[in-house]
Amino acid sequence: MSEIQNINLHQANYSAPAKKSKKSKNKNKAQETQSQPKDKVELSGKKDKEVSQTEPQEKELRLSPFVENATEPVVTEFSINKLTRGKSGETTTINIIHTNDLHGKLTPGKGKGGMAYVGGKIEELKKENPNYLLADGGDISYAPPYSDRNRFNPMPEIMNDLGYHVMNAGNHEFQWEHKQYGGHTGNPNPDLIDNYKELTEALKFPMVCANAVDSKTGERPDYVTPYIIQKVGDINVGVIGVVTDELATQAHPQVGDGWKILNPADTMNKFIPEMKAKGADIIVGIAHDDLKANQNTIRNTHGIDIMLGGHDHQKTDVPISVKNADGQEVPLVEAGAYGAMVGKLEVEIDPSSKKIRNITSTLYPINSDSVKPDKEVESIIANWKGK
């Protein structure tokens, strides 16, 4: 907490990273050069075997080194001076609270994460600013100890309770019925598309995915929502999601059998004008792919203002700045995995032009000894354990 208090979050044109951030920049470099997303490792044959075991395998839930080392919040500021418009001093601030790759991790691992603690932090952050968007980057599914006993459950119940506005579909949201993942016998229907549909029905908020279409028809099934426009205070926030094409090509080809994954940048470029025409003031992209791929997506898009990441379980202490196809800087952020981090973006917007002036990014480590758990999520988890 002390670090947040020591930094003037709203200082105009602040560009030098905070002390902590400087150190973290090297980490980001390391992240960018990584070539093996964590998900690929998870989808190895070894993992398949683990999932088929009858007892929960708590020890298999490893955190990435970046996540394990997190002990205090990291606050950084991202200036977008080129977009500054209007009179100085007039600013509307909306917050974007973000998670990714929760993987059904209900209880803390090594004192970090756990959905009750994630929920506790989210409830705390919601109170900071009533004008917030609560979003998840995908892969809520597929992890012991409990979620794999009955596919994605009880994550929808938890996220409904926390009041998420939107989540992106991660690759794991598509693949539940595969026998290679341990034979999830609760559902006799082997149709992977129906499985995605069941998740959308369990969620009381939209799951977005713009670049997945039916592989046979080339059409987007009617239950797949490409984007939403969410009113946050006076700002219409457009949120569009894309998923990695590893879904169909990399891990287990059968997983993606029913789906064709279109190019993420082309897909976003197709929808963004439509979103703007429908009144979206700012566009938040959620790209469920590794940091390198997501940077590439930003480089080839027009109109994305902020990109939330996921899939490779990294955390961005400093938002990665990537120039889009129009030469504008777009921040890319990611909040670790397994609920070990919750992210918050304070987005300062000129109220007349609705252009973003400045963004402050904070990543909060979710340590069970310092974050107060959410009672309702605790009870959902307790009830679930008995099933």
Interface residues toward Zn ion, by CB under 5 A: 39, 139, 170-171, 311
Nearest residue (CB) to Zn ion, 125 versus 140: 140
Please name the residue that has the structure tokens 């997501």: 294
The torsion region of residue 189 among left (phi > 0), alpha (psi -120 to 50) and beta comes to beta
Nearest residue (CB) to Zn ion, 123 versus 173: 173
Instruction: Please state the closest distance from residue 139 (CB atom) to Zn ion, in A.
Output: 4
DSSP conformation class of 310: B
Nearest residue (CB) to Zn ion, 93 versus 141: 141
Structure tokens at 183: 């034979």
CB-CB contact of 174 with 196 (8 Å): yes
Instruction: Please state the closest distance from residue 171 (CB atom) to Zn ion, in A.
Output: 5
Closest CA to 243 of 105, 45, 100: 100
Rounded CA-CA distance 384/189 in Å is: 23
DSSP conformation class of 262: P
Rounded CA-CA distance 142/176 in Å is: 8
Nearest residue (CB) to Zn ion, 139 versus 245: 139
Q: Which helix (H) or strand (E) holds 147?
A: none
Instruction: Please state the closest distance from residue 38 (CB atom) to Zn ion, in A.
Output: 8
Neighbour tally for 98: CB within 10 Å: 27
Instruction: Please state the closest distance from residue 219 (CB atom) to Zn ion, in A.
Output: 24
Nearest residue (CB) to Zn ion, 139 versus 157: 139
Nearest residue (CB) to Zn ion, 39 versus 305: 39
Nearest residue (CB) to Zn ion, 39 versus 346: 39
What is the largest distance, in Å, between two alpha-carbon atoms of the chain? Answer: 62
Instruction: Please state the closest distance from residue 172 (CB atom) to Zn ion, in A.
Output: 6
**Residues 6 or more apart in contact with residue 185 via CB below 8 angstroms:** none
Nearest residue (CB) to Zn ion, 290 versus 350: 290
C-alpha distances (whole Å) from 51 to each of 5, 142, 171, 178, 292 are 43, 9, 17, 12, 28
Nearest residue (CB) to Zn ion, 109 versus 170: 170
Taking only Cα atoms into account, the Rg of the chain, rounded to an integer number of angstroms, comes to: 20
Give the DSSP per-residue string, 346-374.
EEEE-TTT--EEEEEEEEEE-BTTTSPPP
The torsion region of residue 139 among left (phi > 0), alpha (psi -120 to 50) and beta comes to left
Which residue has the CB atom at the shortest distance from Zn ion?
311
Instruction: Please state the closest distance from residue 101 (CB atom) to Zn ion, in A.
Output: 6
Neighbour tally for 127: CB within 10 Å: 8
Instruction: Please state the closest distance from residue 41 (CB atom) to Zn ion, in A.
Output: 11
DSSP conformation class of 109: B
Instruction: Please state the closest distance from residue 47 (CB atom) to Zn ion, in A.
Output: 13
Nearest residue (CB) to Zn ion, 184 versus 357: 184
Give the DSSP per-residue string, 5-29.
HHS-TT-TT--SPPHHHHHHHHHHH
CB-CB contact of 203 with 159 (8 Å): yes
31: three-class secondary structure by DSSP: helix
Instruction: Please state the closest distance from residue 344 (CB atom) to Zn ion, in A.
Output: 22
Instruction: Please state the closest distance from residue 214 (CB atom) to Zn ion, in A.
Output: 21
